[in-house]
Structures are given as structure tokens and as C-alpha cells.
């Protein structure tokens, strides 16, 4: 007769313990992330209007940066769809303080014209950047983004997919990384973090 | 009488609880659900593509109502030069898309082909995928044979209901 309530009590205790652990972990992770990370390196690319841009040139603005490629069938559309929903949920004031960037890690196929059409499908504010292979590689290296061609079609060498990291970087006006969001983050979480930072 | 009605209600509730299967009959009419005797395919969808896009992916849920394990062994369509079965390997934050020979559909289970995971891959698209398009795709299962589905094209940033914030991002 006593075993059930005892079990029940232990179960509750265990549950609280797990929840406490979870909260502690989350707070630790948040505190760790909150320290702004200075960026070593930079980039020099062209934007979707054909204008030369650099990472330094964006100082004074908040940036939301995602690296991908326009031939990407799933991972990039998922990430950009999330970014679009994050942007749509921001206040107008906040939206004007942030520049969302999509940087190509496949510049051989991603022309200026094409990257513009592609980014406009997701959000009018999303700005596509591309460049030479060397320029794109430098940009990726600056943010620690991995990419490599994979699954090249033997019949057509221009037909391939690209393995790549799927992180979204939140950069502050001093050019430091404030947050690194992993693949397919929770939209509300990202939006709250941005809104909180922009209204400090 | 009362008990019969109660039983009926319970049965209906139980069926509704099975998740998605309830709308089989009337959804068949608008092409959202395709069904063979053993395999049910629901809500096949893809994303709108840019003009020059060469690749696309289709997602859906597949339920195996038979008593045997089954497996999706191929897909074919007119929309692309090649239609393949793919998956994504999540390797320490790196996304690696790879071709797979088949996708297992265990007996009695529902398998979701969804963003970031298994998908039907279109390679060398013959034309742009426009919002609202319905793309005929033939799926071939080892046991259940061929199942025709119509893949609905949603917005470029659509998530297919895997995210709470809403299905389709509005087009600008
Ligand atoms: Cu694929």
C-alpha cells in the first residue's frame, strides 16, 4: 500500500531534479552565449545589387547572417523561411536596425542576379551576397562555416549539392558575434533574443 | 441503444485519435491524400522554387496500414530529369544530403518525410515550381506497389507544419 505513494513522491522529486538541472543548463548556456565574440577576419563580397560590400562596412548595424546556396533544396529554404518569420515578427523599429544577409558558399553558380531573385522569395529585406570562390571561402572561414561539394553528378559537373553548416549568426554593431543559432531554431526564441538585444 | 451510441462515439474518437487518417475519404477528392490498400500518403508538398533552381524536394507522411513492413523503393516524376530518395545526415551542425536506396515504412507506423530529413529529391527541374502547382509523382513501394500522389507547391519558406509559428510564410 505504501509503495505507490513512495514511488510517486520519488518520481516527483526526480522530476523536479531533472527540471532544475535543465534550467541550470539552459542558464549556463545562455550566459555563455551572451558574451560577445569578436570576429577575426572579415569579408569582401558583392551584394545582390552588384555593390561591393565588406563586413567592416556593416559596422553600426546589427546583422543576421546565414551561409548557404541557392540550389539548396531543403536546408537553406528551411533556415531562410525561419529567418523570414523572425523578421516578420519584429517591431518595425527593430526591423530597421537589422540587416539579414544570405552569403553564398557556392558562388560559381550563385550569380548576383540569381541570388537577388532567390532571397526575395523569402523576405524583401533579405540581402544576398556572393563573390569569387576565394572571397566566399574567406567569408565562411571568418565565421567558422564549413562547406564542401558533395554528390557531383557524373553526367554533369555543374550539378552537385553542397554539405554545409547551418548556423545563423547574430552580429552586433561593433562587429561581434552575439549569438550563434543552430539549424532550425525556435522562431520565437530567436525573435525574443533579437528584440531584447535591440531594445536594451 | 444508449450503449451502442456511446460505443460509436468512442470508436469515432479513437479513430480521430489515430492522427490524420480520419480525413481519408473526403481528402482523396482534392488530391491531398493518396491511398492504396496498404499504404496511405498524406499531405505531399514541396516548396516554390526560383526561376533558375535546379533542385527541389518533396515531403509527405506515409502510413503503412498493412501487416508487413514495407519500404519506399523509388519515386518518379515528369518535373525533373531525376527523382531520387534522399536523406540529410546531421553531422555536428553540418548538413550532408545523401541519396538513399530506400526508406523503410514499418508495419503500422507513420513515417514523416520532412525538412531536414528524408525527402523525395527532384534533380534538374524542368521548370520553376510555382505556388499552388500540383505535381504528379509516382511512389513505388516494395509490397504496396505504385502509389500516385499530387505534390502541392507551397511558399518558398514553407515549413510544412513542423513549426508552431504557422505553415506558410506569406509571399511578398
Ligand atoms: Cu536531396
With CA atoms as reference, the chain A residue closest to B82 would be A153
Report if residue B102 sits inside a domain.
yes
- CA–CA separation, B163 and A190 (whole Å): 13
Report if residue B17 sits inside a domain.
no
B94: domain CATH number is: 2.60.40.1890
Burial, B164: exposed, middle or buried (Cβ in 10 Å; 0-12, 13-18, 19+)? Answer: exposed
Decide if A74 and B57 are in contact by the 8 Å CB cutoff: yes
- pLDDT tens sequence across A133-143: 999 999 999 99
- CA–CA separation, A113 and B114 (whole Å): 30
Decide if B172 and A188 are in contact by the 8 Å CB cutoff: no
Report if residue B114 sits inside a domain.
yes
Report if residue B76 sits inside a domain.
yes
Spacing, Cα A151 to ligand 1 middle (Å) = 10
Decide if B90 and A183 are in contact by the 8 Å CB cutoff: yes
- pLDDT tens sequence across B95-117: 999 999 999 999 999 999 999 99
Q: How many CB atoms lie within 10 A of CB A128?
A: 27
Report if residue B7 sits inside a domain.
no
Decide if B95 and A88 are in contact by the 8 Å CB cutoff: no
Task: State the best of B87, B100, B115 to mutate against chain A, taking most chain A CBs within 10 Å.
Answer: B115
Which residue is associated with the grid cell 523509388?
B74
Task: State the best of B49, B97, B155 to mutate against chain A, taking most chain A CBs within 10 Å.
Answer: B97
Q: Is the ipTM of this complex over 0.85?
A: no
Q: Which domains does chain A have, with CATH numbers?
A: 3-198 (3.40.30.10)
pLDDT of residue B155 exceeding 80: yes
Amino acid A35: pLDDT: 84
Spacing, Cα A175 to ligand 1 middle (Å) = 35
Amino acid B32: pLDDT: 59
Residues recorded for chain B: 172
For chain B, percent of residues with pLDDT exceeding 70? 73
- CA–CA separation, B113 and B108 (whole Å): 16
Report if residue B89 sits inside a domain.
yes
Spacing, Cα A152 to ligand 1 middle (Å) = 12
Chain B residues with CB-CB distance to A89 below 8 A:
165
- pLDDT tens sequence across A160-198: 889 999 999 999 999 999 999 999 999 999 999 999 999
CA of B32 vs chain A CAs: smallest distance (Å): 21
- pLDDT tens sequence across B46-93: 999 988 778 999 999 999 999 999 999 999 999 999 999 999 999 988
Task: State the best of B151, B156, B158, B168 to mutate against chain A, taking most chain A CBs within 10 Å.
Answer: B156
- pLDDT tens sequence across B27-44: 343 455 676 678 999 999
- Which residues have CB less than 5 Å away from ligand 1 (the ion)? B 86, 97, 121
Spacing, Cα B121 to ligand 1 middle (Å) = 5
Total domains present in chain B: 1
Residue B50 cell numbers, joined: 526560383
Spacing, Cα B81 to ligand 1 middle (Å) = 14
Amino acid B10: pLDDT: 40
In sequence order, which residues have a C-beta less than 8 Å from that of residue A159 and are 6 or more positions away? A152, A153, B54, B123, B124
- pLDDT tens sequence across A37-57: 999 999 999 999 999 999 999
Spacing, Cα B24 to ligand 1 middle (Å) = 28
Amino acid A95: pLDDT: 96
Report if residue B6 sits inside a domain.
no
Q: Out of B94, B99, B115, name the one closest to residue A163 (CB).
A: B94
Single out the residue of A78, A75, A77, A96 nearest to residue A87, CA to CA: A96
Task: Identify which has the larger pLDDT, A153 or A120.
Answer: A120
Chain B residues with CB-CB distance to A161 below 8 A:
55, 97
* Domain that includes residue B80, residue range: 22-159
Average of per-residue pLDDT across A78-89: 96
Report if residue B117 sits inside a domain.
yes
Decide if A161 and B97 are in contact by the 8 Å CB cutoff: yes
- CA–CA separation, A15 and A20 (whole Å): 9
Amino acid at each position: 500500500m505504501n509503495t505507490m505513494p513512495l514511488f510517486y513522491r520519488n518520481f516527483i522529486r526526480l522530476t523536479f531534479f531533472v527540471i532544475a538541472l535543465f534550467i541550470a543548463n539552459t542558464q549556463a548556456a545562455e550566459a555563455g552565449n551572451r558574451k560577445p565574440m569578436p570576429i577575426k577576419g572579415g569579408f569582401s563580397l558583392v551584394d545582390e545589387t552588384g555593390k561591393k560590400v565588406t563586413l567592416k562596412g556593416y559596422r553600426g548595424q546589427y546583422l543576421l547572417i546565414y551561409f548557404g546556396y541557392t540550389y539548396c533544396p531543403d536546408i537553406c529554404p528551411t533556415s531562410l523561411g525561419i529567418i523570414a518569420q523572425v523578421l516578420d515578427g519584429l517591431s518595425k523599429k527593430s526591423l530597421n536596425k537589422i540587416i539579414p544577409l544570405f552569403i553564398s558558399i557556392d558562388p560559381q553558380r550563385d550569380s548576383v542576379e540569381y541570388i537577388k531573385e532567390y532571397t526575395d522569395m523569402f523576405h524583401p529585406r533579405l540581402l544576398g551576397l556572393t563573390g569569387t570562390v576565394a572571397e566566399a571561402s574567406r567569408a565562411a572561414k571568418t565565421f567558422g562555416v564549413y562547406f564542401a561539394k558533395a554528390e557531383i553528378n557524373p553526367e554533369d559537373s555543374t550539378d552537385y549539392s553542397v554539405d554545409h553548416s547551418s548556423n545563423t549568426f547574430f552580429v552586433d554593431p561593433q562587429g561581434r558575434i552575439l549569438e550563434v543559432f543552430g539549424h532550425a531554431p525556435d522562431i520565437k526564441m530567436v525573435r525574443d533574443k533579437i528584440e531584447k538585444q535591440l531594445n536594451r | 441503444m444508449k450503449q451502442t451510441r456511446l460505443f460509436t462515439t468512442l470508436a469515432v474518437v479513437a479513430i480521430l485519435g489515430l492522427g490524420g487518417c480520419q480525413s481519408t475519404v473526403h481528402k482523396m477528392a482534392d488530391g491531398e491524400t493518396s491511398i492504396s490498400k496498404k499504404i496511405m500518403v498524406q499531405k505531399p508538398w514541396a516548396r516554390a522554387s526560383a526561376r533558375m533552381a535546379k533542385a527541389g524536394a518533396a515531403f509527405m507522411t506515409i502510413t503503412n496500414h498493412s501487416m508487413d513492413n514495407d519500404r519506399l523503393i523509388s519515386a518518379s516524376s515528369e518535373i525533373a530529369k531525376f527523382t531520387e530518395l534522399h536523406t540529410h545526415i546531421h553531422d555536428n551542425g553540418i548538413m550532408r544530403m545523401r541519396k538513399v536506396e530506400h526508406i523503410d515504412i514499418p508495419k503500422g507506423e507513420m513515417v514523416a518525410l520532412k525538412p531536414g530529413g528524408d525527402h523525395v529529391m527532384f534533380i534538374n527541374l524542368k521548370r520553376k515550381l510555382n505556388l499552388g502547382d500540383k505535381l504528379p509523382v509516382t511512389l513505388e513501394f516494395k509490397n504496396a506497389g505504385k502509389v500516385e500522389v499530387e505534390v502541392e507547391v507551397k511558399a518558398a519558406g514553407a515549413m510544412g507544419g513542423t513549426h508552431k509559428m504557422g505553415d506558410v510564410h506569406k509571399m511578398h
